[in-house]
Structure 1
Amino acid sequence: MFSLPPTSRRDFLKNAGCLTIGFALLGLATEATGGPLADELPGSLQDNPRINAWLEVLSDGRVRVLTGKIELGQGIRTAVQQVAAEELDMSLNKVEVALAETDRTPDERYTAGSASIEQSAMSVRYAAAAARQKLLTLAAQKLGTKLTQLTLADGLIQTKDKKRQLTFAQVLNGAQLTDEVRLPIKLKPKNQYRYVGKAVHRQEIERMVRAEEWYVQDLRFPNMLHARVLRPANYESKLVKLDEAELKRLVPGLLKVHIDGSFVGLLAEQEYHAKLAQDYAKLHAQWTPGRTLPTGQPLPDYLRKLPNTPKPVANQGSFDTPPAAGATTLQASYFKPYLMHGSIGPSCAVALFDQGKLHVWTHSQGVYPLRESLADLLKLPMETIHVKGVPGSGCYGHNGADDAAADAALLAVATPGRHVRVQWAREDEHAWEPYGSAMVIDISARLDPSGRITHWQQQVWTDTHSSRPNGQADKLLPTQYLAQPRMPKNDGAADFSAGGYRNAEPLYVVPNLKVDAYFFEGPLRVSALRSLGAYANVFAIESFMDELAEKAKQDPWEFRLAHLQDERAKAVVRKAQEIASQQQLAEGEGLGGAFAQYKNKAAYVAVVAKVRIKEEGTVYRPQLWAVIDSGEVINLDGIKNQTEGGLIQAASWTTTEEVVFDAHGVRSRQWESYPIYRFDEVPYIMGVTVLDYPNKPPLGAGEAAQGPTAAALANAVYRATGKRVRELPLRPEKLVDEPERRQQPG
C-alpha cells in the first residue's frame, strides 16, 4: 500500500483550463502493457491525477517529466528519469526532468520523510504507463489499425511491418495528454526492464565535484544586488539603535539599509560591501538582552522538568502482573543533544519583485508551502508569487532555506525591479537555523528466565520535529523581528508529534508494551532534521537491546532474531550477522551492530561497526557496513549513495556533534565550535549490501541508516572499552574516564 499525501489537489491543477477526457485505461494485455495490474494509485498521483501534471510531450521528440520534489542529494531527478524512460520505452537522454516550481510542477508539499521515490517517482511511473497506453490508443485511431499491431520504442509508434510510424508529438498534434490516470493500469513487465534496478550514475555529480555552477548559491543575474541580514545575539532580542548614516559613511559601497522594526537588511552592488556592512553593524548595533537560555544543570534533567504534553504511542498487554521467579529487570536512560543540519553551503535565496509579481529562487524543500507563507507575510495574492526550487549545498531537513527566502522576498519588495540575493554567513546559519531537538529516552524491560522480553516500557521527552512554515508566515524567522512581529504559535504535540516518537515503538515482538511521548517547548529553535526522532529512538532501543542480550547471556544478533517475526527484517539481520562473523578484532577494537526499519514501514537497515579507540579516547575512523532492504530497487547506485551518506552523517552526529549554548545564546557558531567530520576523519565504508525485492513496492531509504549507525557505534565502543555511553556524542572524555553528566557551560 502507498501512503497518501496530507494535502488536497492544488489550485494550479484545478484551474489549469484543460479538458479532462475521462479516459479509463482498459489494461489490455498488449506488447506495450503486459505488466501486472496495479490495485491503487500511488502517492501524490491521487491529488494530482492528470497525466500532464506529471509529463509533457515536447515537439523535438523528447518527454519532460515533472516532479514536485526538489533534489537534495537523494537522486530524485535520475530516479524519475529511469521510471519514465522505462514505461515509455525511451532512451534516458530523451527524458528531461523539471523539479519543484509553482504553477509548473505538481504540488507535492515537502521533500521529506524519505518519500521521494514512494510518492513522486511512483506517481511518474503510473502517469507514464497511462500516457503510453493513451498514445498507443490515439496512434491506432490515426493509423487506422488495431492496438495489437503497434509497437512503441524510443519515442516512435510503429506498425509491426514498420511501414508507418508516428512520433509522440505527431500523435498529439501539439496538444498534451490531459486525461486523468485511472485504474486499472498495467505496468511494464519487470523482466523487460532496461533501466529500473540498475546503477545509473547521476550526471550532476561531476559538476558538483568540479565546483561548476549548480547550487542556488551560484545564481547570478544582471544588475543584481547582494544583501546580508543583521541578526541579534540572542532569541527575541530587539534593535535599540543602529547609526545608519555612520554605517553608510564607513562602507561607501553600501547602497541601502532597510530597517523594519528589528529586521535589518543591508544591500550593496558588491557582496563584499554587504558583508563589510554586516560585520560593522554587528559591532555597533545596540540590542535588548533577549531571552536567557538555561544553564547550570544537566540538559537532560532540565528537559524532563519542562511543562509537557503527553502522547500515548503504544499500549498493549498488562504491567500489573508481578515478575515471575527468575525474571530480571533492566532500565536505562539515553540522551541525544541538539544537532545542526551543518549545511556546507549556508542558506541563500534570490528574489525579484517586478510589476507586481514576486519571483523567488530557493532551496526550500517545499515551494508551494513557501509560496503560501510568503503570500501571508507580504499580503500578496498567491497568483502573483512564483517560487522555483534550486538545489542547495547540503541539507536533509528544515534548515534556513525558507528564512533566507523570506529575507530575500522582504528586501526585493522594498527594492522593486532588481534581483536581490541574500546569502547567510556561516555564523548566521549555525546560530539561527532550526536544530534537531534534544531528546531524552527512558526504557525499562523485563526478561523471563529463558531470556525472552516480556515487558517493555519507554518514555520519550522531545520538542516538535517540524516547525516548517507550511503556509504560516509566523514560522518564518524574519517575521518575528518586523515592526509588527508575528510570533510562532507553539502547537506542542499538534505541530508534528509523530516525528518525536518516530521509531519509538520497537519492531520486536513484546507481549506487554507501553510507549509514551512527552512534548515540551525547549530553549532552542527546532524543526525537521534527517530522520526526525528516529535517530535518538533507534539509538536508545538498539543500545538497550545489546544491554538486554548481555543480561540474558545471549549473542546480540541471535537475541534480536529471537524477537523478530518479520521475515524481511530477519533477512537483513542475518546478513549483517554474517558480515560481523567474518571480522577479526585486534586489541583495543570493538564490533557492534544494530537494526531498525525506518518508521516501522519503510526501509530495513542493519549496520555493523568496527571501532578502534585511540589512547586519548577518540573513536578513530570506524569501519562501517550496512545491509538495506528498500523493496524494489529503482537506482542501485542511488540506494548505495544514500546509505553511505547516512552512515557518514550519523557517525559524525554520534561521535562529534553537539550544539553548545550559554545563558546569552548559541556558542556553536563556527566549524571550530561545532565540528563535523573532515575528509581525513570520515569512516571507512566497507560495503553496502542491497537486498532487492523487485516485486515489492519501493520503500523510502534516505533516512533509514541514521539510528542503526548510532547504536552500532555505541555498541562497538562498549565492546572496545567496557564503557556504556548512553549520552551522545561519544566524546573522548566519556571513554577515557567514567562518563559524567555534561552541563551546558554557564
Structure 2
Amino acid sequence: MMDILTGHRMSRRCLLAGTGSLIVSFSTIGALAQGISAAAPEKPKLPGSLDDDGYLDSWIRIDADGTITVFTGKVELGQGIRTALIQVAAEELEVDPADIALVTADTGRTPDEGFTAGSQSMQNSGTAIRNAAAQVRELLITEAARRFNLPPDQLRAKKKSVFGPQGSSATYGELVSGQFLHVQAQPQSKLKQPDGLSIIGRDVQRIDIPGKVTGAAAYVQDLRLEGMVHARVIRPPSYGATLKDIDATAAAAMPGVISVIRDGSFLAVVAEKEWQAVKAMRAVEKAARWDEPATLPEQADLAAALVALEKDVGTVAESGNPSFPNGPIYEATFTRPYQMHASIGPSCALAHLKADGSLDIWSHTQGVFPDRSAIAQMLAMPEEKVRVIHMEGSGCYGHNGADDAAADAALIAMKIPGRPVRVQWMREQEHMWEPYGPGMVCKVRASLDANGRIDNWTYDVWSNTHSTRPGSSGSLIAGRAKEQPTPLEVPKLSISPNGSGDRNADPVYAIPNRRVLWHFLPDMPLRVSALRGLGAYANVFSIESTMDELAIAAKADPVEFRLRHLEDHRASDVVKLAAEKFGWGRSEVPSGHGRGFAFARYKNRAAYLAVALEAKVERETGRVQVLRAVGAIDAGQAVNPDGIRNQTEGGILQSISWTLYEAVTFDRTRITSTDWSSYPILRFGSVPESVEVHVLDRPGQPFLGTGEAAQGPTCAALANAIRNATGKRLVDLPLSRNKVKEATGLG
C-alpha cells in the first residue's frame, strides 16, 4: 500500500502492526477459503458486497485519534454515491457524516467490487457498508461493556464514543487502542430501525459538488503531478486501418518533444508541455501512412446489417402459448442507432513508472481492478506491480474511453520511467474511438382479448452483450494496436437476471401468453460497450410504445391500461403517483401539444419509475420541445432523497437528448460524427421548463439503485407524446426533426 500524498509504500503487515487502530482495508478471505474442505457446509450469504470481501476491516478503519475512514470499491461518477455511502456509515456508527472520510476505488486500498455499473452501488456497496458499520458499532459497544463491566444493553454509541450509566464513556479511538480487529462479518446485523433513523432518509448536500464549482482539482483532467510530462496519442483514421509507414524525424526535433513512440500501430508523442505535445501529434498525423480498408456497412441499411449478424438465439422469457387469433394484432419494428457517451471532458489518465518497477495509474475507469488486470496483461507485468487509483472524469455513465486512456498512459509511461505521464484525448478522438452504445432492432407483436387485455405477446431483440469492458487487454485500444496484440475475446450468449442486451426485454405486465427471444450478435461493425441502461433504453421504448398503441386499440386511457396489467402494488403506486402529480387527464392539451406516459421497473428487479410529460411539436419544422416532465420513483429505502431526485432529473434530460438528437454517423470507412455539430446533443434552449421528481420512500426495504431507471421510460413517454400530438407512431430513434416532418407529411 502506498500513501498517495507522501509516495511512501507501506506493507499490509506494517499497517496492521500499528497500534491504536481498528483497520479497515484488505482481507485474506480468498487465501483462507482455499483451506476449507470441499465437504464443509456452505456458508450463509453475507449482505451486499460483504459476500465478496467478508472482513469488517476491509470496509472501516478507526484510528486511535478517532478518525474514521470508510472504504468502497465503487466510484463516484457524478451520481452522488460518495455522499450516500457516508450517510449509511454515519447512521450505523452513530456519528456525524462530517466525521467520516471515504476512500473510493483504489486497487491499493479498497475492496474489489468489480465495476460501478447497473445502478448497483447502493445495492452492493451501500448494503455492505451499512451492515459493516452496524457490526463495528456493536463490537465497540461490546468492548466498552467489557471495560466498564456492564451489560451491553446499558450502553449507547453516540458522537464517536460509547456512553454508559453514571457518566462512564470511552471514545472509539480509546476502545480500539492496542487492538487489531480482523473480524469476519456476520450474516445478520443489528441495523437501526426505520423510526430511529436520523441521517438515512435526509437530504444531505453532496460532498463532491463544492470542488467542481470552485475550480478545485475535482477531475482526473485537473490532476497535476510533480515532474509530469504530456502525451498525445495518434489514432488511426478508422477501425480497420493499420500503420504502413511513419517518418517521425521532423516531429522528434520539435521544441520540447521528449519522444515519439511506436509500438505496432500504436503511435504517441511525449513532450514537456501540453501544447508542444499537441503540435507534435499533428505533425505525426500528417507523416503517418495507413492501410485503410472500407469495413463498415451502409448506414441506411444498419438494421438489416445487424439482423444479419445473428449467431445464436436465446429464450429470455416464456409463458403460456402465444398464438395469435384472427382479431386485432399490433406489430412494429423499432430501431436504435449507435449512440455516444459523448463525455463533455475527453478521456484522460496519468501513469507513473517508479524506480522500484511498480506502475501507478490515475483513471476515471468504472472498474479499477478489472482495468488493472487488463493493463498488467498488456504490459506482461504482475498485477501486484500495477496500482489503479480512481479519480472522477468529466462526464460519463458507462464504458467510455477511460480505460483506453489509462492503457495509453501505462504503455507510454513504460517508455518514460521516473516521470508521470499525462494522456489527454482530443475531442475528435473521443467521438471516434470511444465504445458506443450498441445499435439495436426490436420487433413486437401483440393482441388483445375481448375484454381489452393483452392475451398474446412476442418480442424479438437483435443485440449484443452491451459490454466489452476490460477483462483482457484485448478490450483496450492499445492492447490491440501494439506490435504483439491481444485479440478481443468473443462474447457468448448468456441470459442472466440483470440482463444486458436483453435487459427489460420481458414486460413486467401480466400477459398470459408471451415469448421473448434474444437474437444474439457476438460482434458489431462499430466499437461498442456499456452505455447507461444497456438494452433497457431501446427495449422499454419498444414495449411502452406498444402499450400505448394497445391502449388506443382497447379504447382505454394509457395510465388505466397499464394499471389493469400490473400486479405489483409498488409498480401501481409509482404509476398512480406520477399521473397524479402530472395532473393526468384533468385537462386537454393545446393543439400541437401531446402528452405521454411510460413505466418500467429497471431490470425488472430494481427501481420502479414512471414518467409523464408534455411536448410541443412544431409541424412546420419538426422540432419537438419537452415542456414539462414529472417522474415518480421507488428506489427502496431512500438514503438521500435529494440525490435520488438529482439522478432521476439527470436521467430524464439525458434520455431526452438521446431520443431527440443523438446518433453516431459513419460512411463505409470512417466515423463521421467527430464533433458537436455532427453529433448534436440537448442544448440549454431545449431543456424542459419544468422537471419534477417525486420519491416514494420505502423505509426498511432494500436499496434498489437509481441512476439508470429513467432512461427507457423517458424515451417512451416522449415517443408517446409525439404520437398523441401528431397521430403518428415513430419507431426509429432518434425522433429527429426530419423524421417528425416526414411522419406528419411535411418533410
Q: Secondary structure at the match of 2:351?
A: strand
The answer on 1:653 being equivalent to 2:658 is yes
Instruction: Note if contact 1:725-1:739 (Cα within 8 Å) is conserved in structure 2.
Output: no
1:621 positional shift: 4.0
**Aligned match for 1:728, one of 727, 733, 742:** 733
1:278 positional shift: 1.5
What CA distance in whole angstroms lies between the structure 2 residues aligned with 1:574 and 1:559? 12
The answer on 1:241 being equivalent to 2:245 is yes
1:685 positional shift: 3.6
Aligned counterparts, 1:428-447, within 5 A: 428-447=429-448
2:88 corresponds to which residue?
83
1:679 positional shift: 2.1
1:491 corresponds to which residue?
491
Q: Secondary structure at the match of 2:162?
A: strand
Aligned counterparts, 1:573-588, within 5 A: 573-578=575-580, 579=582, 580-582=584-586, 584-588=588-592
The answer on 1:553 being equivalent to 2:555 is yes
1:34 corresponds to which residue?
none
Q: Secondary structure at the match of 1:64?
A: strand
Letter paired with 2:479: T
Per-residue CA deviations over 1:303-328 (Å, capped at 9, x if unaligned) read 112242211111211135x627xx32
2:405 corresponds to which residue?
404
What CA distance in whole angstroms lies between the structure 2 residues aligned with 1:413 and 1:495? 40
1:167 corresponds to which residue?
171
1:659 positional shift: 0.3
1:41 positional shift: 3.0
Distance 1:461 1:739, change over 3 A: farther
Q: Secondary structure at the match of 2:625?
A: coil
Q: Where does the alignment leave 5 or more consecutive residues of structure 1 unmatched?
A: 1-10, 19-38
What CA distance in whole angstroms lies between the structure 1 residues aligned with 2:613 and 2:50? 40
The answer on 1:253 being equivalent to 2:256 is yes
2:12 corresponds to which residue?
none
1:479 corresponds to which residue?
479
Aligned counterparts, 1:107-506, within 5 A: 107-162=112-167, 164-249=168-253, 251-295=254-298, 297-320=300-323, 323=325, 327-354=327-354, 355-470=356-471, 472-494=472-494, 498-506=499-507
What CA distance in whole angstroms lies between the structure 1 residues aligned with 2:739 and 2:688? 20
The answer on 1:738 being equivalent to 2:729 is no
Normalising to structure 1: TM-score of the pair? 0.92
What CA distance in whole angstroms lies between the structure 1 residues aligned with 2:427 and 2:325? 55
1:176 positional shift: 4.3
Instruction: Note if contact 1:62-1:155 (Cα within 8 Å) is conserved in structure 2.
Output: no
What CA distance in whole angstroms lies between the structure 1 residues aligned with 2:343 and 2:585? 37
1:583 positional shift: 5.5
1:22 corresponds to which residue?
none
1:465 positional shift: 0.5
Instruction: Note if contact 1:446-1:454 (Cα within 8 Å) is conserved in structure 2.
Output: yes
2:706 corresponds to which residue?
701
Instruction: Note if contact 1:466-1:495 (Cα within 8 Å) is conserved in structure 2.
Output: no
Instruction: Note if contact 2:649-2:693 (Cα within 8 Å) is conserved in structure 1.
Output: yes
Letter paired with 1:106: P
Instruction: Note if contact 2:88-2:130 (Cα within 8 Å) is conserved in structure 1.
Output: yes
The answer on 1:14 being equivalent to 2:28 is yes
Letter paired with 2:464: D
Instruction: Note if contact 2:473-2:480 (Cα within 8 Å) is conserved in structure 1.
Output: no
Q: Secondary structure at the match of 1:557?
A: helix
What CA distance in whole angstroms lies between the structure 1 residues aligned with 2:30 and 2:86? 24
Letter paired with 2:735: L
1:100 corresponds to which residue?
105
Aligned counterparts, 1:646-685, within 5 A: 646-685=651-690
What CA distance in whole angstroms lies between the structure 1 residues aligned with 2:325 and 2:606? 35
Range 666-675 or range 529-538, more displaced: 666-675
Aligned residues: 706
Instruction: Note if contact 2:614-2:626 (Cα within 8 Å) is conserved in structure 1.
Output: no
Per-residue CA deviations over 1:580-627 (Å, capped at 9, x if unaligned) read 234652221110010000000100000111001233111124321101
What CA distance in whole angstroms lies between the structure 1 residues aligned with 2:178 and 2:227? 37
Instruction: Note if contact 1:507-1:564 (Cα within 8 Å) is conserved in structure 2.
Output: yes
Per-residue CA deviations over 1:539-581 (Å, capped at 9, x if unaligned) read 0000010011111111111111111111111111112222223
Instruction: Note if contact 1:605-1:627 (Cα within 8 Å) is conserved in structure 2.
Output: yes
2:716 corresponds to which residue?
711
Instruction: Note if contact 2:459-2:516 (Cα within 8 Å) is conserved in structure 1.
Output: yes
Range 67-76 or range 210-219, more displaced: 210-219
What CA distance in whole angstroms lies between the structure 1 residues aligned with 2:524 and 2:265? 24
Instruction: Note if contact 1:352-1:416 (Cα within 8 Å) is conserved in structure 2.
Output: yes
What CA distance in whole angstroms lies between the structure 2 residues aligned with 1:94 and 1:179? 23
What CA distance in whole angstroms lies between the structure 1 residues aligned with 2:216 and 2:725? 44
What CA distance in whole angstroms lies between the structure 1 residues aligned with 2:587 and 2:695? 20
What CA distance in whole angstroms lies between the structure 2 residues aligned with 1:290 and 1:52? 54
1:736 positional shift: 1.6
Letter paired with 2:304: D
Distance 1:14 1:180, change over 3 A: same
Q: Secondary structure at the match of 1:127?
A: helix
The answer on 1:74 being equivalent to 2:75 is no
1:630 positional shift: 0.8
1:147 positional shift: 1.5
Instruction: Note if contact 2:623-2:737 (Cα within 8 Å) is conserved in structure 1.
Output: yes
Per-residue CA deviations over 1:147-166 (Å, capped at 9, x if unaligned) read 1332211101122211x321
What CA distance in whole angstroms lies between the structure 2 residues aligned with 1:348 and 1:514? 44
Instruction: Note if contact 1:113-1:531 (Cα within 8 Å) is conserved in structure 2.
Output: yes
Per-residue CA deviations over 1:179-199 (Å, capped at 9, x if unaligned) read 111133211122121110111
What CA distance in whole angstroms lies between the structure 2 residues aligned with 1:331 and 1:526? 29
What CA distance in whole angstroms lies between the structure 2 residues aligned with 1:12 and 1:57? 14
What CA distance in whole angstroms lies between the structure 1 residues aligned with 2:152 and 2:664? 63
Distance 1:392 1:240, change over 3 A: same
Instruction: Note if contact 2:45-2:51 (Cα within 8 Å) is conserved in structure 1.
Output: no
Letter paired with 2:549: E
Distance 1:142 1:290, change over 3 A: farther
What CA distance in whole angstroms lies between the structure 2 residues aligned with 1:356 and 1:636? 46
1:562 corresponds to which residue?
564
Distance 1:170 1:17, change over 3 A: farther
Per-residue CA deviations over 1:225-256 (Å, capped at 9, x if unaligned) read 1001100111131111221111223x322211
Instruction: Note if contact 1:42-1:118 (Cα within 8 Å) is conserved in structure 2.
Output: no
The answer on 1:686 being equivalent to 2:691 is yes
Letter paired with 2:281: Q
Normalising to structure 2: TM-score of the pair? 0.92
Distance 1:628 1:495, change over 3 A: closer
1:40 positional shift: 5.9
What CA distance in whole angstroms lies between the structure 1 residues aligned with 2:369 and 2:211? 28
What CA distance in whole angstroms lies between the structure 2 residues aligned with 1:109 and 1:474? 18
Q: Secondary structure at the match of 1:60?
A: coil
Letter paired with 2:203: A
Identity among equivalent positions (%) equals 45
1:174 positional shift: 4.6
Instruction: Note if contact 2:26-2:57 (Cα within 8 Å) is conserved in structure 1.
Output: no
Q: Secondary structure at the match of 1:620?
A: strand
Range 431-440 or range 479-488, more displaced: 479-488
Per-residue CA deviations over 1:319-344 (Å, capped at 9, x if unaligned) read 35x627xx321111101110100111
